[in-house]
A and B are shown apart, each in its own frame.
Chain A
Amino acid sequence: MPTSLDMLFRMTPEILLIVGAVWIIVGNAFAPQRAGWWVMALATVAMAGWALAQQGMPVVPAPSTGGESVHVGSADADSVVVAGLAIHDELAQAIRWFAIVLAFLLVVMASRAGAESLFGEQLGSILLILAGIMIAASATNLVLLFLGLELVSIPTYILLFLGRANRQSLEATAKYFLLSILASAVMLYGFSFLYGSTGSMDLSRISANVREPASPLGAGGIWTMGMVLVLLGLSFKLGSFPAHFYAPDVYEGTTSVNAALLAVAPKVAGIVALVRLFLMNSMEVHPFLWHMFLLLALATMTIGNVCALWQNNIRRLLAYSSIAHAGYMLIGLAVALAMWKTSTGLQGASATLFYLVVYAIAVLGTFAGLAYLASARDEIQDVEQLAGMGRSYPVVAGALGLLMFSLSGIPPLAGFWGKLGLFASAVEAAGVSAAGVRSPWFLVLVVGGALNAAIAAAYYLRIVRTLFFRSGTQQLAPEGGSGARNVAVFAALLTLAVGILPGPLLVATRNATCGLNRDRAPLMVTAAPVSSGHQDSIVTRP
């Protein structure tokens, strides 16, 4: 029975997060204190997680049955629920769960961030950003996708404002703000072309209608132009090649907590938006699109790694490394686009998701470690400042070292499985010829990726060497709070655990992408007459 109450029920986690965020922001203005609002934020995240658990979700695959998954809650296993403009399929549920985990880690990490009178804004913005990710992950309509992405961007501007009250912080905010709204405008112009060429805001129709042009102005060309503009706008969020240049400046100027958020939240939202726009419901192989992704992946990886090699400033180094990781993720998307509707394509998409999760946890832990080591007045800037940390702060230094190994892809850790999955899917794509496309270019991609991984190891290992094998010249006073330290250690342990037992996460990411391959007729309400008024529909497909 489709009622709007059902729709509200489906969106409860997002609503809870947003209400909690507003409550914290407003409340902190009247009662500025740290501990109370911090507990309140944690409680909000926990409540959102509980509400999400009510909807059922294959979180943990049972070890006994291998590929099968255990469902928490009462929902049907393969049900795809469409609530208004949102769709809650396997991908959306997986990303929503991941957003809850990220929200928890970020709130814990930010326990000492910022001034006390502005602490509420700090926490509230983090919660809003994560709600934005959840909305973007479940959007099946351009309008909702746009709103989700903006809900990720706008609180980010506020967070950057709230950083340290110095010139660098302000400059970072200005650079991020101006370029971000420019990227949004470009992406919206792309949306207008997608809408124009297909005559629908519905994502499933945007791909389906390409074959039968709805406009007289050459629908194919307009559609392609829309896709290129959208990719350009989203590459800002991803921090990938054509719009990557802001990242080092912004990461250098802002605090570690904000840098962690910037390295994680827009990337998750951007990858999900790319998957939704380019992969979901794509009816045929568009050779142009995967060529573009392939070139962007190569360029992004190379620029990121080569520039990171020369950096002495650890924040710029991590920014370039995050650019390089965006390039690795694009490998998987290129494979998925070229080999769609085959098992190779599915493998590419799930490898991208796996890499996204592993990267996000690792980079979050790294910035948490830096946040812990920073003094109350200054962030850690130079790699040299980390010298001797292995002796004075062995726990955090050990965690940082482990995360560096994982980011560079050394075997017993999670990052290795991520890179292995991506390169394996590309090798497979180079071997088979799907849809009549021979693709020797994927071999170039694999070789380029492997070379890049070797380059990357050089600068990650330089950090490890500085941590453990150099004697420190200056004393640091770690004042980042125990929350940041705990997140760093937790992320390191998680990376180690996933590295030793990658099975559950691999299965979970594969489950998340399997819904994409399903042949799906264009959904529901778009053809409904406008005069019938507001309509909420819940479509459940077996």
Chain B
Amino acid sequence: MSDTAILQNHLFVGAVLFALGLIGFLVRRNVIVMFLCVELMLQGVALSLVSWSRYHGDWGGQMLVIFIITVAACEAALGLALVWIMAQRGGSLDIAIWQTLRERDQAPYTDREVPEEDRSVEDWPQLTPAGVEPVHPREEDMYRSHV
């Protein structure tokens, strides 16, 4: 295979990795997955740099790759600390729960509409008289394995 063909193949894989990372960053909502998607983009960059470096016969690209990996490690340390605090405070890894900061008139983003309850039917729970054991449904006894 000629040098150019190898270069093209490598660049193509690099571009695919970068694009997958970018798409993942845009569509996923888990903080950890978003962070990993950026790392995937960085891997795509590293692959293109190394292949260009090999093609040109120059060390510069590989030098940059080593620094990219180092910097990405620093960012991972900070990012995991951030994820930990966010999970602790927010109780979820979903990025969409963090929307306190926004324009004043902007409505908050809700992904699932809770259906309106039908208020017309009065469905109050019936309380049993104190001291009387309620009647258990038969099915519940059959299917309940323990308790």
Contact = CB atoms under 8 A, between A and B. Distances in A.
Nearest to B18: A189
B63 A174 contact: no
Interface in A176-197: 177-178, 181-182, 185-186, 188-189, 191-193, 195-196
Contact of A189 (B7, B44, B86, B98): B44
Q: How large is the interface on A (under 10, 10 to 19, 20 to 34, 35 or more residues)?
A: 35 or more
Contacts of A170: 85-86, 89, 98
A428 interface: no
Contact of B4 (A188, A216, A253): A216
Given A147-B67, A312-B104, A530-B59, A154 B79 contact: no
A142 B64 CA distance: 8
B56 interface: yes
A249 B102 contact: yes
B67 A146 contact: yes
Given A185-B38, A192-B52, A154 B75 contact: yes
B48 A196 contact: yes
A172 interface: yes
A143 B82 CA distance: 27
Interface string B7-39: 110010010001001000100000100110010
A170 B101 CA distance: 11
Contacts of B14: 192
A185 B55 contact: no
A54 interface: no
Interface in B87-123: 89, 95, 98-104
Interface in B50-71: 52-53, 55-56, 58-61, 63-64, 67-68, 71
A163 B4 CA distance: 51
A261 to B, nearest CB: 17
Given A143-B60, A249-B101, A189 B45 contact: yes
B12 to A, nearest CB: 11
A154 B74 contact: yes
Contact of B21 (A157, A167, A185): A185
Contacts of A32: none
Given A161-B82, A178-B34, A195 B49 contact: yes
B78 interface: yes
Contact of B79 (A143, A181, A191): A181
A343 interface: no
By DSSP majority rule, is chain B's interface helix, strand, loop, or mixed? helix
B31 A174 contact: yes
B42 A185 contact: yes
B38 A188 contact: no
A181 B101 contact: no
A252 B103 CA distance: 10
Interface string A332-345: 00000000000000
A195 B86 contact: no
A169 B85 CA distance: 12
B33 to A, nearest CB: 11
B45 A201 contact: no
Nearest to A313: B104
Contacts of B7: 217
A189 B41 contact: yes
26 contacts: A141-B60, A146-B67, A146-B71, A154-B75, A154-B78, A161-B82, A171-B99, A175-B98, A177-B78, A177-B82, A178-B34, A181-B35, A181-B79, A182-B25, A185-B45, A188-B68, A192-B61, A195-B61, A200-B56, A201-B58, A201-B61, A214-B56, A216-B4, A217-B7, A250-B101, A526-B60
Given A170-B86, A248-B101, 18 more contacts: A143-B64, A150-B71, A167-B89, A174-B95, A175-B101, A181-B75, A185-B38, A189-B18, A189-B41, A189-B44, A191-B49, A199-B52, A214-B56, A215-B55, A217-B11, A249-B101, A312-B104, A526-B60
